[in-house]
Amino acid sequence: MDKKILASIFMVSMLAFAMGWGTYSYFSDTETSSGNTFSAGTLDLKVDGEDDPLPIYFNVGDVKPGDSGSCTIALKNDGTIGGTAKIHIKKVVNSEGVNPEPETDKDEPGDLGRFLVLKIWYDAEGDGFENDDLIITDEVNDLNSVLTPLGTLGAGQTRNVKIDWELPNSVGNDVMGDIVTFDIEFSLEQA
């Protein structure tokens, strides 16, 4: 009885040994990928090639009804990931400035921001400004603190923003000598 058990154990051991040998003899190949890295993308907006503080784009004096003008600004995504470009007109301040005799509204605040119209364009396709590139048209006062998305700006892309301004003919003498001041903020946000 003891003998039989011992023989069985021996047999099982031998089989196990043989199986082990068998496994070791299968084909095998190993490759190593070392140094896997995650690096964060970059999102860097350049406005006409510059960072903060940007130059003053508009310093226009002697504006009279019917006058208009325009300013084109290049936005560049100098980073490695695409984003959405946005414009933000903020800190609109109206003052009366000088009050000549014919002015019809001499009470603060000034009235120029109520009437001065801005038209903001974004050349999303980079093929020049077309009708469908018009993003928003409104008076300066109504644009105050409105964050307006312009469109996408891919990594490495440069796209133009155009800001047209106009003081409509119908304004009249309310705005004489009045002053409106505001900030223009451009931002690029991860898409």
Confirm or reject binding of residue 184 to another protein (CB under 8 A): yes
Does residue number 28 form part of the binding site for another protein (CB under 8 A)? no
Segment 105 to 134, residues that bind another protein, using CB under 8 A = 112, 116
Q: Are strands 146-153 and 83-95 parallel, antiparallel or unpaired?
A: antiparallel
Start-to-end C-alpha separation, the chain:
79
Task: Select from 106, 135, 148, 165 the one that contacts another protein (CB under 8 A).
Answer: 165
Task: Determine the residue type at 161.
Answer: V
Residues from 133 through 152 that contact another protein (CB under 8 A): 140
Q: Is 133 exposed, middle or buried (0-12, 13-18, 19+ CB in 10 A)?
A: buried
CB-wise, 69 or 126, nearer to another protein? Answer: 69
Could you tell me the CA-to-CA distances from 92 to 13, 78, 87, 125, 140 in Å, in that order?
90, 29, 14, 30, 7
The answer to whether residues 73 and 62 touch, using CB atoms and an 8 Å cutoff, is no
**103 in contact with another protein (CB under 8 A):** yes
Q: Which of residues 45-84 bind another protein (CB under 8 A)?
A: 45-47, 50-66, 79, 81, 83
For another protein, give the closer residue by CB, 124 or 143: 143
Closest CA to 168 of 122, 98, 87, 111: 111
One residue of 43, 120, 150, 161 binding another protein per CB under 8 A: 43
Range in contact with another protein (rule: CB under 8 A) among 17-25, 26-34, 37-45, 127-135 = 37-45
Give Cβ neighbours of residue 189 (< 8 Å, ≥ 6 apart).
Answer: 43, 83, 84, 86
Q: Examine residue 102 and tell whether it contacts another protein (CB under 8 A).
A: yes
Binding site for another protein (CB under 8 A): 41-47, 50-66, 79, 81, 83, 91, 97-98, 100-103, 112, 116, 140, 165, 167, 175-190
